[in-house]
């Protein structure tokens, strides 16, 4: 069995709880998740379906896909979609609260949740996000959360979202994420450039997942004005130019270890380049990516970083970097 397969069986097939790997006492360290998707269709499936997807069983099926990459991504993330036009604001709040409550229950001090582009159809979607957060804070009063809006560059309406960004920013939106296709080959960044510029002019952060399975789109993304964070970035380490640009532009790298390992972004857990980023003085933050589907939590991500040799001192720096980005005192 491969090293990734062994990791999967050891860390993700556990039946002890919904989450895995809560080995350490994190009361002395604040946990920040700066890359978490709301997993809209997956959570709707769990809330509304009479026979919801068995995610632990779905994850076990990853072992039948020997090579990582898009095949694993498509297998794990394939969920029937729901038309947002049929979704009420109360159901939207329920889905968001479900994601936030999971994060808070697993020990997160702060989670930055990525909402689907379709949320703009609700009008003042940030007000609904705040109402969902208040629900969670009744049980977890110290928990805080922010929101980013994931934009699909292949969607014909994506460019129109630029018009709502100033108002959304004034209502508390923290930033946008740019999603694109093809993911492992060069994409068209004309719309992405417009959205990144508009977001930056509105005071929003811009995050782009890139370099997960290949270095495709890495150069294009690093040339976009306004990009302040990149997700995954595993294949950035293969070119010193990329590392230099990331460092010189003070771009933070959102590292999601479980995602990288289970989806095959790296050949082995030990092969993840988190140490390269740290040694290159590149700002690193941690995230869960899709915690429901991947069976992880931010506590587990910090734990996993520790098992890969990241020191407590570096983990503390990672938390403090995240707290600075989110303007939260720790």
pLDDT digits over 241-256, tens only?
999 999 999 999 999 9
- Residue 7: the pLDDT is 59
Rounded Cα distance, 265 and 69, in Å = 6
- Residue 31: the pLDDT is 96
- Separation in Å, CA 218 to CA 81, 230, 321: 29, 9, 23
pLDDT at 237 over 60: yes
- Residue 25: the pLDDT is 43
Buried b (16+ CB within 10 A) or exposed e, 23-60: eeebeebbbbbbbbbbbbbbbbbbeeeeeebebeebbe
List pLDDT tens digits, range 273-320. 999 999 999 999 999 999 999 999 999 999 999 999 999 999 999 999
Q: What is the mean pLDDT of the chain?
A: 90
pTM attached to this predicted model: 0.91
Taking each helix axis from N to C terminus, what angle separates 40-48 and 89-105, rounded to the nearest 10 degrees? 100
Tell me the average pLDDT across 64-92.
83
For residue 204, give the 3-state DSSP assignment.
coil
List pLDDT tens digits, range 175-214. 999 999 998 899 999 999 999 999 999 999 999 999 999 9
Q: How confident is the model at residue 141 (pLDDT cuts 50, 70, 90)?
A: very high
List pLDDT tens digits, range 14-60. 333 333 333 344 445 899 999 999 999 999 999 988 889 999 999 99
Tell me the average pLDDT across 9-14.
47
Neighbours of 104 (CB within 10 A): 22
């Amino acid at each position: 069995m491969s090293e990734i397969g062994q990791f999967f069986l050891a860390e993700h097939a556990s039946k002890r709880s919904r989450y895995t790997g809560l080995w350490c006492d994190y009361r002395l360290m604040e946990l920040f998740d700066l890359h978490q998707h709301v997993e809209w269709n997956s959570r709707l499936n769990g809330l509304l379906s009479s026979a919801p997807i068995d995610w632990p069983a779905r994850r076990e099926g990853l072992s039948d896909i020997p090579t990582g990459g898009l095949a694993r991504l498509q297998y794990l993330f394939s969920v029937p979609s729901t038309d947002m036009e049929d979704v009420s604001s109360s159901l939207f709040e329920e889905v968001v609260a479900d994601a936030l409550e999971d994060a808070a229950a697993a020990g997160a001090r702060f989670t930055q949740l990525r909402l689907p582009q379709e949320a703009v159809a609700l009008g003042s979607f940030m007000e609904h996000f705040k109402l969902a957060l208040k629900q969670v804070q009744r049980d977890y009063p110290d928990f805080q959360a922010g929101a980013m809006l994931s934009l699909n560059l292949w969607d014909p309406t994506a460019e129109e979202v630029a018009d709502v960004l100033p108002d959304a920013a004034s209502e508390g939106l923290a930033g946008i994420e740019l999603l694109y296709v093809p993911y492992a080959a060069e994409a068209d960044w004309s719309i992405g450039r417009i959205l990144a510029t508009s977001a930056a002019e509105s005071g929003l952060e811009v995050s782009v997942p890139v370099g997960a399975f290949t270095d495709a789109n890495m150069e294009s993304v690093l040339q976009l004005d306004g990009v302040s964070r990149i997700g995954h970035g595993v294949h950035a380490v293969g070119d010193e130019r990329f590392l230099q640009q990331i460092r010189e532009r003070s771009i933070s790298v959102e590292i999601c270890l479980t995602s990288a390992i289970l989806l095959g972004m790296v050949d082995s857990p030990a092969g993840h380049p988190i140490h390269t980023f740290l040694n290159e003085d590149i700002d690193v933050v941690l995230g869960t990516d899709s915690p429901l589907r991947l069976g992880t939590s931010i506590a587990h991500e910090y734990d996993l970083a520790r098992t890969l040799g990241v020191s407590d001192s570096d983990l503390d720096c990672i938390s403090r970097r995240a707290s600075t980005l989110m303007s939260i005192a720790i």
